[in-house]
Chains A and B, each alone.
Chain A
Amino acid sequence: MITLLKNAKVIDPAHNKDGVVQDIYIRDGRIIAKPADSEKIGQVHDLNGKIVMAGAIDMHSHIGGGKVNIARMLLPEYQAMRRLDEPEAHICGANCSHHATPNTTDTGMRYIEMGYTAAFEPAILAVNARQAHMEMGDTPMIDKGGYAMLGNDDYFLRLLSQNADQKTINDYVAWTLHATQTIGIKVVNPGGISAFKFNERRQDLDQQHSHYHITPRRILQALSRAVNEIGIAKPLHVHCNNLGVAGNFQTTLDTMGASDGLPMHLTHIQFHSYGTEGDKKFSSAAANIAEAINSNKHITADVGQILFGQTVTASGDNMMQHLNAKVANPKKSVIMDIECDAGCGVVPFKYRDQNYVNALQWAIGLEVFLSVDDPWRVFLTTDHPNGAPFTSYPHLIRLLMDKTFRNDAFDKLNLNAQAMSNLKSLDREYSLYEIATMTRSAPAKLIGLQDRGHLGVGAAADITVYTDQPDKEAMFAKPDLVFKDGELVVKDGKVIKVVWGATHTAKPTFDLGVEKDIKHYFDRYHTMQMQNFKISNDQIAEDGRNHVINHVQG
């Protein structure tokens, strides 16, 4: 059956289309060229010039895996069981939640209702990947995928400290992608999670690890080179050292140089853009960071915007989260060391606009957004749930697109913070084309999803239809229609049909000979067999709701 979207006003930056009125034809879940007149059109939606974009892609959102589930357990005060027969305006799980820690059903529902058709879990502990995929497999409506964490695992650190050759490292990185069914590689506080296990409390970029005698810079070099050489699209995803520390912008600037010019993605850069100026020794270094991004074309970044209210931070960075636990609100936290692989830290936070640091964090994120010139290299994230729940994206989009709205919000901030920010001097207002770039075309290109994030012939028919209106928050909160793989699943912002997405992976070729040494390591030191560490396609597809889409890359 062919579905026709008639009179669509298409915004598709991948094809340089900015408001081109055209017809879109869909068959078997794909966008097709205009069919012959003899072919029957099964379904016609006359859009009368409504805005049409590809489904949005969240390239960094903590939607599955141990940390997120611990966060759910930790905060019962924000959850409550509700019965299905309770009147709901939309299809939901028994516990419909719009809070920071939604269950898997609600995660999928809330994303699709906003026109998002894919989300990527950015911090999958390799040893915890099976759980992450179980949770993502129970997340309906959207496509999923993840980045596997390396760089604090003892196997890799041993390799580096023994001066293993780059080929061995490349093979190990590729093996990890296969074993964990992921599409990218992440490093969190390079070396720092490991160092914390040896009772170190900080790990600077050029400071030697106390046990392995290698530096985070060396870890970043080796991993960025591996990712580049095995030929996957997604550049190394880097959570820098010194998360949240006043003065950490220098570490961030230095980190940009650590890949020797190879592509590198710096994540939740707002949390890494802090200076030490002013009475409180905490200031915005957004201008320095944005300038560096503008001039370093090999760098991309997502922002990790904070928004005010209760949330919970869930990170692999247990070294820094152990420090942050002192300011937990409510006062409780979970810190874990995990399997000689990595760690995690879950710390609830309440960001307040009258708190100097929080107010400035809010401003710093927006300063970065507005000061980075190229929307292909800066991504719209709140680091869900760390800066704010992903459900606040429509609000964030309005802050970027509406200067008056933004400045009114700024005027309500802590006055000392206002005095330390140049936000009001930034007149930029994002266009719909730029928003479509940073939420569709750019993430698809960054991750290597060739058939997503655009509306060209052959693309998956993940399509969102909006009514343009002055209030951009209202516009992006409630699309008129959302199609997932060609099926109409959301109407007027409400789910009308439940579907199950796929899991996207990248599996580059590699020398399987590397497995011999990995198995030897497992047998010597682990408490599980190597074969059980590896996840098969069949295991992802179990219970019939999920399947793997592998992307041939490189």
Chain B
Amino acid sequence: MTNQQDSMHACPACGLLCDDISGDAIARQQFSCGKAAKFYARVTTGVSPQVAGQPASLAEAVKAAAAALKQASAPLVAGSSTDVHGARALVSLAQQTGAAMTHINASSTLRNMKVLQHRGWQTTTLTEVRNRADVILMIGTDVVSHNTRFFDRVVWVDEAMFTEPAARKIIYLGGDKLSTKPGVSPDGRAPEVIACASEHLPEVVAMLRALVMDKPVTATTVAGVAVSTLKSLAETLKAAKYATLVWVSKDLHYDHAELTIENITETVVALNQKSRAMGLSMGGSDGDTSVNYAHTWLNGVIIDAPEWESHDAVVWVNSYSPQAMPPAGTAPVIVLGAPDSTFAAAPAVFIPVATPGLDCNGQQFRVDGSVTLPLTAAKPTDLPTLTQVVAMIEAQLKGDLA
């Protein structure tokens, strides 16, 4: 039995990794998602490596990159927007050069990791939600700003094994500028929206947890939200067959947001004493889950937060975010990344590499963590992969050392 390579591709433009993108849709540029359209419209051909803004051969650029790394006393591998294979290469490069390693999404990833490392959590994955969830509570997020097709792929589906999809109860609790229209059921039933600004979520979510835990509460409102509303929400969650509490750590961008996430996950833990509920962390990508996971199995520890000021050279990988660059003032920067990168100032070295899922094959973790999908080259090019370029730099470094 071999894997039949038909024309379906998994799209790495967000953490959902929709794997129903046909070659035909890519050829015709017909997508139901703006992120996918933008990703597959990228032009990655006709770009050569550069040294100090001047065109250079790949060999010259590799030599310049190795020289910059050799001179650095405290290099940093950052951005790290890539797939599992790229992550392996970057971990290897970091080990060989004594570099620290971080990711473009490290701050939002670490909000979740702090909760995991402090208390753990109880979570589920997309197929479980698709087939079981009868109540979906989104806290501080509309999900769709990050994962456009969440409702199409997971919620308003034609069929589910254990629940009636169209009858699902959708609730939004708090958040700023939410797009709640996707939460309207196929038969026109509006979702419940409990409004409060994101900045008030800490106290509102703490109150919800207290109510689910049957703690005595005397207040009648919290941050403008009626406690009776939250009490009713708590009862809805308790009565659910499979309540799913969804958050997106990127949307909880205030100080100590990890405490809000912990209140969400501990609400789930409290619910699971008697009924069934699970947490679901959405959002993600730039390969953040892949890079954090691979970093963990290769090093035994999770990805770290960037400390820009303490480094004297940066290897920057931006395969899924061509516009992204390190903070101004960081130098020298060695970009191993998107051929369609846009620079305000030319980096010391720029080596365009193949983007997994666009120019070359790869493997990527979905945002829910348990599922990994193969990425196939939608528009194959002869650009080198990140793995190949890192191997060349490592060989150059070893040659220098010898």
Contacts and interface: CB of A to CB of B under 8 A. Distances in A.
A334 B112 CA distance: 13
- Measured as residues with beta carbon below 8 angstroms from the partner, the interface class of chain A is 35 or more
Contacts of B278: 336-337
A539 B301 contact: no
B120 A76 contact: no
Contact of A526 (B96, B127, B363): B127
B370 A336 contact: yes
Given A83-B98, A93-B298, A103-B297, A74 B117 contact: yes
Contacts of A333: 120
Interface string B26-64: 000000000000000000000000000000000000000
Interface string B292-327: 011011111110000000000000000000000000
Given A529-B8, A534-B3, A73 B84 contact: no
B366 to A, nearest CB: 8
Given A76-B117, A529-B19, A339 B299 contact: no
Interface stretch (B157-165, B172-180, B214-222, B393-401): B157-165
B128 A197 contact: yes
Contacts of B128: 197, 337-340
B228 interface: no
A531 B3 contact: yes
B213 interface: no
A84 interface: yes
Given A66-B370, A73-B117, A332-B120, A135 B297 contact: yes
A198 B162 CA distance: 10
B131 to A, nearest CB: 6
A381 interface: no
A279 interface: no
A233 to B, nearest CB: 20
A197 B300 contact: no
A84 B95 contact: yes
Contact of A336 (B125, B297, B372): B125
Interface in A141-157: 154
Contacts of B247: none
Interface stretch (A12-20, A94-102, A365-373, A390-398): A94-102
A76 B363 CA distance: 26
A93 B387 CA distance: 19
A252 interface: no
A72 B2 contact: no
A335 interface: yes
Contacts of B3: 531, 534-536, 539
Contact of A95 (B242, B293, B300): B300
User: Which of B1, B10, B119, B373 neighbours the largest number of chain A CB atoms within 10 Å of its CB?
Assistant: B1
Contact of B123 (A138, A336, A535): A336
A104 B161 contact: no
Interface string B268-283: 0000100110100000
A138 B298 contact: yes
Nearest to B16: A527
Given A525-B130, A529-B20, A543-B88, A105 B8 contact: no
Interface string B74-91: 000000000011001000
Interface string B9-32: 010000000011000000000000
A397 B242 CA distance: 47
A525 B158 CA distance: 9
A300 interface: no
Contact of A66 (B1, B98, B369): B369
A334 B117 contact: no
Given A94-B299, A103-B299, A532-B374, A85 B98 contact: yes
Contacts of B159: 524-525
A75 B298 CA distance: 15
A336 B363 contact: no
A340 B374 contact: no
A74 B120 contact: yes
Interface in B344-402: 363, 365, 369-374, 387
A131 interface: yes
Nearest to B89: A543
Nearest to B153: A527
A454 interface: no
A536 B2 contact: yes
Interface string A528-550: 11011011100100110000000
Nearest to A107: B297
A81 B301 contact: yes
B126 interface: yes
Q: Which secondary structure characterizes the binding site on chain B?
A: mixed
A536 B374 CA distance: 10
A525 B160 contact: yes
Nearest to A72: B296
Nearest to B95: A94
B122 A332 contact: no
A73 B299 contact: no
B132 interface: yes
- Measured as residues with beta carbon below 8 angstroms from the partner, the interface class of chain B is 35 or more
A73 B301 CA distance: 6
Contact of B301 (A95, A531, A535): A95
B316 to A, nearest CB: 21
Contacts of B162: 198, 211
A529 B392 CA distance: 36
Contacts of A534: 1, 3
Interface stretch (A122-130, A462-470, A476-484): A122-130
User: Which of B20, B85, B278, B374 neighbours the largest number of chain A CB atoms within 10 Å of its CB?
Assistant: B374
Contacts of B85: 542-543
Contact of A134 (B20, B127, B302, B372): B372
B196 interface: no
B365 A336 contact: no
Contact of B161 (A135, A340, A527): A340
Contact of A76 (B84, B301, B369): B301
B93 to A, nearest CB: 12
Given A73-B117, A83-B98, A93-B299, A532 B373 contact: yes
Contacts of B275: 199
A106 B300 contact: yes
Given A103-B297, A525-B160, A529-B20, A128 B88 contact: no
Contacts of A337: 124-125, 128, 278
B299 to A, nearest CB: 5
Nearest to B157: A525
A307 interface: no
A179 B374 CA distance: 14
Interface string B144-177: 0000000001100011111000000000000000
B97 to A, nearest CB: 10
A105 B193 CA distance: 49
Nearest to B18: A527
A532 B300 contact: no
A444 interface: no
A338 B160 CA distance: 16
A531 B4 CA distance: 7
Contacts of A539: 3, 363, 374
Nearest to B8: A529
A322 interface: yes
Contacts of B119: 331-332
User: Which of A68, A106, A527 neighbours the largest number of chain B CB atoms within 10 Å of its CB?
Assistant: A527
Contacts of B299: 81, 93-95, 103
Given A337-B128, A524-B159, A531-B4, 12 more contacts: A76-B302, A81-B299, A93-B298, A138-B297, A154-B161, A197-B242, A199-B241, A335-B121, A336-B122, A528-B19, A539-B3, A543-B387
Interface of A: 64, 66, 68-69, 72-76, 79-81, 83-85, 93-95, 97, 101-106, 125, 127-128, 130-131, 134-135, 138, 154, 175, 178-179, 197-199, 211, 322, 325, 328, 331-341, 346, 507, 512, 524-529, 531-532, 534-536, 539, 542-543
9 smallest CB-CB distances across A and B, nearest first, come from: A103-B300, A332-B120, A130-B372, A95-B300, A339-B127, A527-B126, A335-B122, A79-B300, A536-B3
